[in-house]
Structure 1
Amino acid sequence: MNTPTLPDSATHTVAFLGLGVMGDPMAGHLARVGHRVTVYNRTASKAHDWVRRNGGHSAATPREAAAGADFVFSCVGNDDDLRAVTLGPDGAFAGMQPGAVFIDHTTTSADVARELGLAARERGLFFLDAPVSGGQAGAQNGTLTVMCGGEAPAFERAQPVIAAFARAVTRLGDNGAGQLCKMVNQIAIAGVVQSLAEAIAFGEHAGLDLSTVLQVIGKGAAQSWQMDNRGPTMIEGRYDFGFAVDLMRKDFGLCLQEARHNGARLPVLALVDQFYADVQAAGGGRLDTSSLLKRLRDKND
């Protein structure tokens, strides 16, 4: 098998597949720094609207979008969605030129990342699993953290392109390593958000001014990104920021599945997953992850 080669230029022809709350602004940043962008979305009207706002082109299939592209990006829903836009006669792999790089920003299983890495290699392509952290605000502001798995040469070429919407882009290892790192990220967040919700609920029962309390403890050891960014909105009962509960539970499912394979124990994650299930059952699946506080407040009503 011949080793793929990579294009080398400052600006590139790129494709972006999936224009949800994350993909839309990420693709926009690529266009604004000068890349030639073609977009695809399962709902075609979203792709047409993106072109109206950002320029570039839209395509009817992933294969058409990927034709002639140096780099193809995706940000879709889950493993099956990713397979749908990569494989098959209308998938991006069928349209990509030899040596092109597919960069997937979906949070998926590590297994599908390895599967598609192998499938890409067999076609003379590169594949990077590159899940992100930073939420909708990070995508809009171009400040995402990107965790990559894949071959080093592909990563080195893709890194400056990904930097259009990221403040940190790091390779963790071979295909699957990016997804495993994202799982570590979500496991760490689970306990932080639940603890913050409990702390705020406790402070409210104690009759404290929670805005002042968070300002005080945010200068000490309790400080966290969640406290700084979601604490004030949690106090106000606003849960329309960032990452939806439905998506977090999908991610937790991936973590728990991987833990069953590797033998890790995740008792806190499993408990918080059930708390998010309560939020879903109450109709809050599209609320952001800080809505764990709403669950505590509702139980006290």
Structure 2
Amino acid sequence: MNPLPRTVGFVGLGAMGLPMAANLAKAGCDVLAWNRSRPALDAARTAGCRTAGSPAEVGATAPVVLTMLPDLPQVVAVLDGLLCADPVIDTLVVMGTVSPVGVRKVAEELLPRGVTVVDAPVSGGVTGARDASLSIMAGGPADSVERIRPYLSAMGSTVRRMGDIGAGSLAKACNQLVVAGTLVSLAEAVLLGERGGLEPAALLDVLAGGLASSEVLAQKRHHLAESDFTPSGPARYLHKDLGFVLESAADERVLLPLSATVARLYAAVEAQGQGDLDNSVVLQHLRGRRANHPHHSKD
């Protein structure tokens, strides 16, 4: 028996949003999806979703609406549409990676309009979205999180309420801190190794067999070993997410020296026009830097 007979709305059918919506439909949910581009809507229909002609149609049909959009400004941009046509929406679930500070403000603004916000960002990448094995970090009122838990469980293997609104996004910021820090460490290891005559692929295999092993290494091994920076996760998104890390650190008055350094590296990657390449392209950026070691000077 379907535990969620009511329609659920889904806005944002990108590389992760489309398989997430498909997994909801596969679990027996009545998914009403909307996206700006028509090809994604066609793909959603093929995957078992119904499609809407506008955000207004979604908001007027679905009490719970999930968004998988790049950032909070894109969520805010569709809010007027969701709420304009005699809406029945009462719960907005923000599943993209957004500012913990910003999502709390949106929640405060929507509460008088009868809409509860849950922030529920995800980790696991396109693979996790496709396999319904995402790790989902939720923030919001306990009863609201429990109400939408069956939807979240249809898309992820780990679903955890982290606290009140903004807590899910703070947990995701912590996740991105670890991902970015690990990526930079791996890139530096490859750079150091290849300058000393080691084959990157062999080095990464050895690292993967020991304590240095990680999911980041497993998913990024090919990119780093082959210098193939075809995007599976664009560097510009990680640059954006690191901004949320630093914003949260300032808000909580916490000093994060590693995060500050990593954020500067990804800011430089974006400034060099490499933001659309894979986030492992930080390796290429490091290769282009020239170390200055005065104690090695020949003068």
Please list every run of 5 or more consecutive structure 2 residues that lacks an aligned counterpart in the other structure: 291-299
SS in 2 for 1:42: coil
Q: 2:10 touches 2:33 (CA, 8 Å); kept in 1?
A: yes
Give the 5 Å matches for 1:1-301. 9-43=3-37, 45-86=38-79, 88=80, 90-92=81-83, 96-97=87-88, 100-299=90-289
State the Cα RMSD in Å: 2.2
Please list every run of 5 or more consecutive structure 1 residues that lacks an aligned counterpart in the other structure: 1-7
- Deviation string, structure 1 residues 162-192 (Cα, Å, up to 9, x no partner): 1222111110111011111111111222221
Structure 1 residues 277 and 150, CA, compared in 2 at 3 Å: closer, same or farther? Answer: same
SS in 2 for 1:16: strand
Q: 1:17 touches 1:39 (CA, 8 Å); kept in 2?
A: yes
The alpha carbon displacement at 1:93 in A equals 7.6
Query: Matches of 2:117 and 2:221 in 1, distance apart?
Result: 37
The alpha carbon displacement at 1:115 in A equals 2.5
Q: How many residues align?
A: 289
The alpha carbon displacement at 1:51 in A equals 3.8
Query: Matches of 2:30 and 2:136 in 1, distance apart?
Result: 22
Query: Matches of 2:40 and 2:227 in 1, distance apart?
Result: 33
The alpha carbon displacement at 1:20 in A equals 1.5
SS in 2 for 1:108: coil
SS in 1 for 2:249: helix
SS in 1 for 2:154: helix
Query: Matches of 2:249 and 2:109 in 1, distance apart?
Result: 25
Q: 1:93 touches 1:120 (CA, 8 Å); kept in 2?
A: no
The alpha carbon displacement at 1:299 in A equals 4.1
- Deviation string, structure 1 residues 209-255 (Cα, Å, up to 9, x no partner): 33333222323221111122212331111122432111111111122
- Deviation string, structure 1 residues 99-156 (Cα, Å, up to 9, x no partner): x432110211123322232344333333210111112222122211111100111111
Amino acid at match of 1:297: R
With the length of structure 2 as denominator, give the TM-score of the two structures: 0.88
Query: Matches of 1:289 and 1:93 in 2, distance apart?
Result: 38
The percent identity for this pair of structures is 35
Query: Matches of 1:12 and 1:206 in 2, distance apart?
Result: 60
Query: Matches of 2:215 and 2:86 in 1, distance apart?
Result: 41
The alpha carbon displacement at 1:262 in A equals 1.8
The alpha carbon displacement at 1:80 in A equals 1.6
The alpha carbon displacement at 1:280 in A equals 2.2
Amino acid at match of 1:103: V
The alpha carbon displacement at 1:291 in A equals 1.1
Q: 2:20 touches 2:132 (CA, 8 Å); kept in 1?
A: yes
The alpha carbon displacement at 1:271 in A equals 1.7
Structure 1 residues 182 and 203, CA, compared in 2 at 3 Å: closer, same or farther? Answer: same
